[in-house]
Chain A
Amino acid sequence: MIEVRGSYLRFRGLDVGFGTIDGIKINVSANNIEVDHCLIHNAALNGINIQDSPANIQIWNNRV
């Protein structure tokens, strides 16, 4: 699993598989995050989990 709490980050073209909870979790205080052209699969719960009021999140062109 990838957990994001930072700022101004782009994740592009990643293959994220078999997360024990979520594939990618964008959590509290994260901002200006972009997830683009990623393959996110076989997560135990959510493919992409955006929670607790992060800001300016863009999710583009992904297969989940």
Chain B
Amino acid sequence: MANNVFYDNQAYGIQLYPQANDVICVCNTVDGGVTRGGTVVGSESGLTDNVTIVGMIGTNAPWYCIDLYDPASGDAGNNTYDSLGFGNGSGDFRAGTGMTYTNCTHADPLYVNRAAKNFTLQSGSPAINKIQSARYGYVPPTDIDGKVRVTADAGAFAF
């Protein structure tokens, strides 16, 4: 999954549950939500493994930017890298078994106009060049609008 925008959805923006093995989720923007929002990763019995999330922007969800649901504590090998959370009701990156967070921070991504659903980035956004060099290989060459990605920006829109 790459370069997608999810906003104001009824439940989660992205649900990687259950049995969502080996998903690669790169440069997506998830905003708002009615009951939950954000992204959930998990399974009932340890079957959602090796999920890789890179460059996620998750904002203004009623719950989490990244939520985990793993009641059996059996999920393994899931990683979230180089992502931003902001304004989420329960927190940004929920801690739990099976998920490791690297270079994931709490910061306002500075959307140009969230009220108008314009999720492009203002100058000075912490999402600009957020993705570290070890993950450059995941970054799509263009963004959701076909704009060339000059820097390794988080989210669906290149600066």
Is B a genuine binding partner of A? yes
Binary flags per residue of A23-58, CB closer than 8 Å to B gives 1, else 0: 000000000000000000001111101101100001
In which size bucket is the chain A interface? 10 to 19
Enumerate chain B residues within 8 angstroms of A43, measured Cβ to Cβ.
9-10
Inter-chain contact B4/A62, CB cutoff 8 Å: yes
Binary flags per residue of B40-80, CB closer than 8 Å to A gives 1, else 0: 00000000000000000000000000000000000000000
Once bound together, how far apart are the Cα atoms of A4 and B144, in whole Å?
23
Distance of B9 from chain A, by nearest CB (Å): 6
Enumerate chain B residues within 8 angstroms of A11, measured Cβ to Cβ.
none
Binary flags per residue of B5-35, CB closer than 8 Å to A gives 1, else 0: 1110111010100011000000000000000
Once bound together, how far apart are the Cα atoms of A43 and B10, in whole Å?
8
Interface of B is mostly: loop
Asked if B1 CB lies within 8 Å of chain A CBs, one says yes
Inter-chain contact A64/B3, CB cutoff 8 Å: no
Asked if A7 CB lies within 8 Å of chain B CBs, one says no
Once bound together, how far apart are the Cα atoms of A61 and B156, in whole Å?
8
Enumerate chain B residues within 8 angstroms of A53, measured Cβ to Cβ.
19
- Which A residues have a C-beta under 8 Å from some C-beta of B? 43-47, 49-50, 52-53, 58-64
- Which B residues have a C-beta under 8 Å from some C-beta of A? 1-7, 9-11, 13, 15, 19-20, 144, 156
